[in-house]
Amino acid sequence: MSKKETEDMLRPGGIVSVDAIKNAPPVDMEWLNDSCLVVVIVGASGDLAKKKTYPSLLNLYDDNLLPKNSKIWGFARSKMSDEDLRDRLRPFLLKTNHSPEVVERFLMRCFYQGGSSYGDGDAYTELDGKLKAFEEHHTNEKHSNRLFYFAIPPNVFAETAVAIKKAAMQDESKGWTRLIVEKPFGRDLESFEELNETLSKHFTEDHLYRIDHYLGKEMVQNLSVLRFSNIWFDPVWDSKNIQCVLFTFKEPFGTEGRGGYFDKVRGTDSVGCARFRWVDSLQSLILSFLLSLPYSLALFGISYRTICYKS
């Protein structure tokens, strides 16, 4: 690609050919066969874990998209055995379209570690011992990776991250450690910066994945396909041809016991439903609707486009 073409693509609002998609890096499937993986769901007793996180992992498991040697540990303060956790998850997993046999096989990969708090160093040390015992069984694999998924309220993000750093990080020579943090990342700029500072003190950006699972929904993902892979829409997706864009947020159910959460994220000031949905999810959705095609689907390409619009 010439320098001029690259500059054109980087220009805010610059038009990029759909060919850029062909330059996206291929999915690396090697790790599925050559590595072992532990996923730790922090906050395994909660709403997000049972409704979204475990069912998503079940989807990956049934599609053979988890390494063969993978296990899932739940971590929370609730007192539970492995069997209690499985009993709690089972009804939600059976609501998916996977067969009961697959659900049972998946559940046999799920374990539980309790702690007195999310910063309980001893509990993470105990967990680390269990993870090592599992990983040592799979020394033939090239890598043993650890993924920590935060399905907890934001006020305990920092203490959780610090405890993981102290007691449960994977040795870098053996594999990676990654942390997935669900939004909201604090309540406002100040609390975001405070949280970010704590996380950055202990982890590099390679370790951290800040996500909003709402943006992974099919409808949202389909927006990019509808736009960038469609020769009719792509050339007319601009202010000359679109007069008005209207976003409607519709959900055919209530807060289902999560009213307290919307009113107040424990220990912090109110987050509120409007802030949670509008500022976090819908604004990101509008952004992805407006975004010009990134010059590359690698991380920098997408962040560059995002920053252009946000600024």
Ligand X SMILES: NC(=O)c1ccc[n+]([C@@H]2O[C@H](COP(=O)([O-])OP(=O)(O)OC[C@H]3O[C@@H](n4cnc5c(N)ncnc54)[C@H](OP(=O)(O)O)[C@@H]3O)[C@@H](O)[C@H]2O)c1
Which of 48, 66, 158, 168 touches ligand X (CB under 6 A)? Answer: 48
Distance of CA 11 to the CA centre of its chain: 29
Within 13 Å of residue 259, how many CA atoms lie on the same side as its CB? Answer: 4
* Residue with tokens 């950006």, as numbered in its chain: 205
Q: Which stretch binds ligand X (CB under 6 A): 87-95, 151-159, 162-170, 196-204?
A: 151-159
Q: Under the criterion CB under 6 A, does residue 43 sit at the interface with ligand X?
A: yes
Q: Under the criterion CB under 6 A, does residue 151 sit at the interface with ligand X?
A: yes
Rounded to whole angstroms, the Cα distance separating 252 from 144 reads 42
Q: Under the criterion CB under 6 A, does residue 162 sit at the interface with ligand X?
A: no
Q: Under the criterion CB under 6 A, does residue 55 sit at the interface with ligand X?
A: no
| Closest distance of CB 49 from ligand X, Å | 6
Window 80 to 139, contacts with ligand X (CB under 6 A): 118
Q: Under the criterion CB under 6 A, does residue 47 sit at the interface with ligand X?
A: yes
Q: Which stretch binds ligand X (CB under 6 A): 6-14, 54-62, 70-78, 299-307?
A: 70-78
Give every CB contact of residue 233 below 8 A, 6+ residues apart in sequence.
226, 227
Q: Which stretch binds ligand X (CB under 6 A): 33-41, 48-56, 190-198, 225-233?
A: 48-56
Task: Report the run of H or E that residue 274 belongs to, with start and end.
Answer: helix 273-274
Among 164, 201, 196, residue whose Cα is nearest residue 183: 196
| Closest distance of CB 275 from ligand X, Å | 11
Among 275, 84, 117, residue whose Cα is nearest residue 192: 275
Rounded to whole angstroms, the Cα distance separating 132 from 142 reads 15
Q: Under the criterion CB under 6 A, does residue 74 sit at the interface with ligand X?
A: no
Closest residue to ligand X in the complex (CB): 46
Q: Which stretch binds ligand X (CB under 6 A): 7-15, 39-47, 62-70, 87-95?
A: 39-47
User: What does the DSSP assignment read for 72-91?
Assistant: EEEEESS---HHHHHHHHHH
Rounded to whole angstroms, the Cα distance separating 172 from 169 reads 8
* Of residues 151 and 293, the one with the C-beta less far from ligand X: 151
* The residue count for the chain: 311
Residue ranges in contact with ligand X by CB under 6 A? 43, 45-49, 52, 76-78, 118, 151-154, 156, 182, 184, 261, 266
